[in-house]
Amino acid sequence: MQSDNKTAAILVIGDEILSGRTREGNAHHLASVLTAVGIDLREIRVVADEQPLIVEAIRALDSSLGGRYDLLFTSGGIGPTHDDVTADSVAEAFGTGIEMNEEALAVMRARWEARGMPVTGNRMRMARIPLGAKLIPNKFSAAPGFHLGNTYVMAGVPEVFRAMVDAILPDLPTGRPVVSESIDVNRGESDVAEDLQQVALAYPDLSLGSYPWHREGSYGTMLVVRGLDGARVAAAMTDLRQRIGL
């Protein structure tokens, strides 16, 4: 699909994702949000809680560091425990220092005191922010994320992640949302592959896909046409319907 929208990647960080202990949902949520506001998600990558791997991925994905994409969103690794090394990894990737951020610490102290929670070294660890980064507010639990270069660093806890996505959304460089049309046919993929290919060749600016399904003893294929121009999408879908006899 041809597009002049900004491109993006999501970097999911966490051993618990790779081990299968935790089902990953943050990338799924953010993918829907980005599609709705006209940002083209091009890659989702998952890495372990290991600083060299995280640094390597950030440098490969953030265009401000010579990487592939205009925007990078990370999930996970900014909590209070020893294996939360995302903040240090971002600082290393950008070649900057890291220190206790007084603004972040003040917000968290206020929350802890209001709830009678002690101020511990582990909790304070969540206020360590790379130099030059801007904070991403967290209305859910106070401990912030941050934004440095083209990288937006957010928590792995789903409720907190979603709160941070809501916070950054108004400032993102949005584009043209993708228009999508789909039809279900009671035919297998191989039966419609030739027709789908012919329409794809006729509309190279669009994205066409086929997705098989099985339900209640029946099978078939969902055919999807996606693009930025609603009229072109509608024309391609009309062509496809005619070719497959609908």
Render pLDDT for 35-93 as a digit per residue (tens, 0 to 9).
999 999 999 999 999 999 999 999 999 999 999 999 999 999 999 998 899 999 999 99
- 33 pLDDT band, cuts 50/70/90, is very high
Amino acid at 12: V
- 1 pLDDT band, cuts 50/70/90, is confident
User: If you average pLDDT over every residue of the chain, what do you get?
Assistant: 95
- Sketch the domain layout of the chain as residue ranges: 6-171, 179-244
8 Å CB contact between 114 and 80? no
Give the closest residue to 173 by CA, choosing from 32, 8, 1, 42. Answer: 8
Q: What is the pLDDT of residue 69?
A: 98
Is the alpha carbon torsion for 164, 166, 169, 175 positive or negative? positive
Distance CA 240, CA 96 (A): 53
8 Å CB contact between 20 and 70? no
- 114 pLDDT band, cuts 50/70/90, is confident
Q: What is the pLDDT of residues 162-186, one digit of tens each?
A: 999 999 999 999 999 999 999 999 9
CATH class of segment(s) 6-171: alpha beta
Give per-residue burial for 134-147: e unless 16+ CB within 10 Å, then b.
ebbebebebbbbbb
Which CATH code, of 3.40.109.10, 3.30.70.600, 3.40.50.300, 3.40.640.10, is assigned to 179-244? Answer: 3.30.70.600
Distance CA 137, CA 133 (A): 13
Q: Do 6-171 and 179-244 fold alike per CATH?
A: no
Please state the pTM of the whole predicted model.
0.93
Distance CA 190, CA 192 (A): 6
Helix, strand, coil shares, percent, the chain, to 5: 40, 25, 30
Q: Could you give the C-alpha distances from 1 to 35, 120, 122, 226, in angstroms and in order?
A: 13, 51, 46, 8
Residues 6+ away with beta carbon under 8 Å from 216: none
Q: Which residues pair with 135 in a beta bridge?
A: 146
Q: Could you give the C-alpha distances from 214 to 19, 186, 190, 208, 246, in angstroms and in order?
A: 29, 10, 15, 20, 20
In the chain, the percentage of residues whose pLDDT exceeds 70 is: 100
Pairing of strands 71-75, 151-154: parallel
More confident: 91 or 142:
91
State whether residue 78 is helix, strand or coil: coil
More confident: 188 or 118:
188
Q: What is the pLDDT of residue 118?
A: 80
Give the closest residue to 52 by CA, choosing from 86, 21, 26. Answer: 86
Phi/psi of residue 224, nearest 5 degrees: -125, 135
Distance CA 73, CA 29 (A): 12
Give the closest residue to 101 by CA, choosing from 146, 58, 138. Answer: 146
